[in-house]
Structure 1
Amino acid sequence: FEKDDRIGGLMRYGVPDFKMEKIHIDRRVAQMEAEGTRFRTSTEIGKDIKWDDLRARYDAVLICTGSTVPRDLPIPGRRYRGIHFAMPYLTQSNKVAAGDTVERQITAKDKHVIIIGGGDTGSDCLGTALRQGAKSVTTLAIGVQPSEQRDPKSQPWPTHPMLFDVSSSHEEGGERKFLASSVEFLADEDEHVTSLRLARTQIMPDGTRGPAPGTEEEIPADLVLLSMGFTGPQRDTLGQLEHIGFTPRGTVARNDQFATAVDGVFVAGDAGRGQSLVVWAIAEGRAAAAAIDTYLTGSTELPAPVTARTLALRA
């Protein structure tokens, strides 16, 4: 069951075509349909179908709703028009690329664009804005610019190094600013954003960060895209599941076998792991399938079943 009109989740509507053509999703969906998988789109569990009805109909349910609640930026002027979360912007662009008509589409054409957040989603926004004909695109990151080489002391092999990343979108254009703390949005008489006041990030001895006094500047902004990560899955409908629990990080709580506190209900992917890469979603989906097979039949012949804890340690 999928609440969107097409199958694919963030790979469908969050990743632009210039990064991954959707033919790869379509081919895999066709393969899964041929194998017997039934897809039901435009169906939101908790609204179109109640959770109790779903559980009464099926012996096992796997929650794979992703981590979709965006992290907000509560600074003065946040309510002004022209300030949007990244995902609606990317989703609309992907729908248009698929041939759909989107009324009042958020577009970067002929605008000064600011992207707040320097991760993969911000990079996708950058590439999209450049293709839409933005006047300028500036990406802001609150932290320091990562090193171009691994530090053997703080990031010894085989830990994953935090290195300076230059994506294909960054190579195409735009400006990147590090140690940039957003202070306030400014707007015109119609309350549409016109600029952003920012300051150099000051890192305190205890690790907290904030704007350094006396370093403020203003940069033009006709469109602001908030791309600062996600805080967990949507809880409004999940709350219908009695005894369902959440971790301090906001993800759905589970044990090593991907099982939640609700009997017969499992969770995999970003909904249980937190925002991550698609390779982890694939790995967890396969491992959760083995766990559900064991739950239903007492054993499994699915290949290489691993636990949620093992996958977490591998990360």
Structure 2
Amino acid sequence: MGKSTGFLEYERVENAGQEPLERIKTYREFHTPLSDEERRKQGARCMDCGVPFCQAGKPIFGMVSGCPLNNLCPEWNDMVYNGFWEEAADRLLLTNCFPEFTSRVCPALCEKACTCGLNGDPVTVKENEYAIIEKAFASGHIKANPPKVRTGKRVAVVGSGPSGLAAALQLNKRGHHVTVFEREDRVGGLLMYGIPNMKLEKTVVQRRVDMMQEEGVEFRTSVDVGKDISAEQLLKEYDAVILACGSSNPRNINADGRDADGIYYAVDFLKATTKSLINSNLSDGYYISAKYKNVIVIGGGDTGNDCVGTAIRHGCKSVVQLEMMPKLPDTRAESNPWPEWPRVCKTDYGQEEAIAVFGHDPRIYQTTVKRFIKDDKNHVRAVETIKLQSVHDPKTGRMRMEEIEGSEQILDADLVLIAAGFLGAQAYVTDAFGVETTPRTNVSTKIGHYSTSVEKVFTAGDMHRGQSLVVWAIREGREAAKEVDQYLMGYTNLN
């Protein structure tokens, strides 16, 4: 695919990003796409490798290598090279409901498995995907396409995150009447309120929601299933129900002083900022401000990085990000060969911005909070941290993190954001429907299936598999839609 010698003739060139000190002045996306001519060269780098690991989506030593959606990357890279943009969009949409989301927020598992990356730089698959889908929207190639025939079957989807939206889109395309219930005031789940605007502008989410409405999907916002409407009512009114509520229980930090004011979960911090940004460009003040504050972010993952970038845009005084695990190597270790997922250190946009503003990387590795220190008004004023070391646990045979005595340190803190991940589905939803859950509180199904222990009730996304990526949520939504369609019709022609 692509030009047979393209990977030898052209270097990898990425979309240019605004300099950190400039981009922190706004909450807008900050990359400038390449010209069509330059983009075609990037498509030309796809090297006809014979075994395209980029689209495999197979686990290798416990970590997936390649795209979980099995996107046909070599095919549409070739079409980009040849200038067949509409055909490229058609092939892209064959496997991916929402390339406009994944091309912005996915960590590009496809590129990490790209054969071209074995002895050089991988193809810019993610940015090629972005170019294809945005050109398709701009040209009008993508437009509302309501089903010509309706089946008369009714499906309720609970939750409008990427898995719920994917399931709704597919089932509506099949001709079923689909109603999506969302407890927030806007549709999108984590796409709307969990991912900051500078990574995924909310007009992009709303563009897709508007198109789905044109195609016949009904969205009911500010409706909390299990509270505002009962499970019994949904099961009575609909032929099938899909639970796609996400993994919504944030992990806590159970340290002394946790009851202090000024300590928030990251999801609440990010949601409040986005909602205020959409409603009033932050002028209403209805958000958790980091301005002039010493900020401590607990958690080294993507959500923690989003908190760093957001706090800097607020105008924080300082920001520190605590990471329990050791720093990963900057390049692949010999024990982590291609095409395994590369276990290497990544410096993301928020950390880049912290380096530009404060002169150093905000991350402190192998460190956790021992206690929160309060003032006489019960507000957090500092955290006491302690260093950790990796030791072998003879009982489990695994390595575990253990505190290093005498390594305590006091860090100033006016605002603490807990970004330690999420644990399973919220009990009031699973209890309302009576579905069985796993020990990790995810909704239980047979392996490879999406039907729950309750007749007519299915599940998908993080609620099913645990906290994961948007690309996996889309995959789950599509697979659940197929199973629901099979249940309703006795067969399915969804792919």
Relative to the length of structure 2, the TM-score reads 0.59
1:188 corresponds to which residue? 375
1:170 aligned to which of 307, 332, 351: 351
User: What does the per-residue CA deviation read over 1:240-280, in whole Å, with 9 as the maximum and x for residues that have no partner?
Assistant: 223x1111222111122211011111100100011111111
**Structure 1 vs Structure 2 CA RMSD:** 1.3
Helix, strand or coil: the match of 2:475? helix
**3-state SS, counterpart of residue 224 of structure 1:** strand
Rounded to whole Å, the distance in 2 between the matches of 1:70 and 1:102 is: 27
User: In the TM superposition, what are the counterparts of 1:284-299 in structure 2 within 5 Å?
Assistant: 284-299=476-491
2:326 corresponds in structure 1 to 144
Structure 2: distance between partners of 1:195 and 1:18: 29
More helix by share: 2
Paired position in structure 1 for 2:210: 30
Specify the alignment match of 1:199 in structure 2.
Answer: 386
What 5-or-longer segments of structure 2 have no aligned partner? 1-180, 356-361, 394-398
**2:460 equivalent to 1:268:** yes
Partner in structure 2 of residue 306 of structure 1? none
1:117 is aligned to: 299
How many residues align structurally? Answer: 301
- Cα distance, 1:148 vs. partner? 1.6
Higher normalized contact order (CA 8 Å, seq sep 6+, divided by chain length): 1
Letter in 2 for 1:177: I
**Is the contact made by 1:95 and 1:102 (CA closer than 8 Å) also made in structure 2?**
no
Distance 2:376 2:449 in 1: 56
Q: 1:46 aligns with which of 226, 243, 265?
A: 226
Partner of 2:312: 130
In structure 1, stretches of 5+ residues that fail to align are 304-315
Amino acid at match of 2:209: V
Cα-to-partner distance string for 1:44-74 (whole Å, 9 max, x where unaligned):
1111110011001001000110001000010
Alpha-carbon distance in structure 1 between the residues aligned to 2:388 and 2:235: 49
What letter corresponds to residue 383 of structure 2 in structure 1? L
Give me the whole-angstrom Cα distance separating, in 2, the residues matched to 1:71 and 1:188.
25
2:106 is matched with none
Q: Which amino acid counterpart does residue 83 of structure 1 have in structure 2?
A: I
Residue type of the alignment partner of 1:297: M
- 2:418 is aligned to 226
Q: Give the equivalent residue in structure 2 for 1:83.
A: 263
Q: SS of the counterpart of 2:428?
A: coil
Seen in structure 2, the aligned counterparts of structure 1 residues 102 and 275 have a Cα distance that, compared at 3 Å, is farther
Q: How does 1:273-312 map to 2 (within 5 A)?
A: 273-303=465-495
Are 1:213 and 2:405 an aligned pair? yes
Quick one: which amino acid aligns to residue 442 of structure 2? Answer: T
Amino acid at match of 1:239: D
Q: How many Å separate the matches in 2 of 1:61 and 1:104?
A: 34
- Is the Cα contact below 8 Å between 1:86 and 1:226 reproduced in 2? yes
Q: CA deviation at 1:211?
A: 2.0
Contact 2:293 2:414 in 1 (8 A): yes
Measure the CA separation in 2 of the matches of 1:269 and 1:128: 26
Alpha-carbon separation, structure 1, partners of 2:487 and 2:349: 44
Shift of 1:102: 5.9
Deviations 1:93-143 (A, max 9, x none): 001110257665311000000000000111111111000000000000011
Distance 1:157 1:257, change over 3 A: same
1:7-22 to structure 2, matched below 5 A, reads 7-22=187-202
- Alpha-carbon distance in 2 for matches of 1:63, 1:231: 16
Say which SS state the counterpart of residue 199 (structure 2) adopts: coil
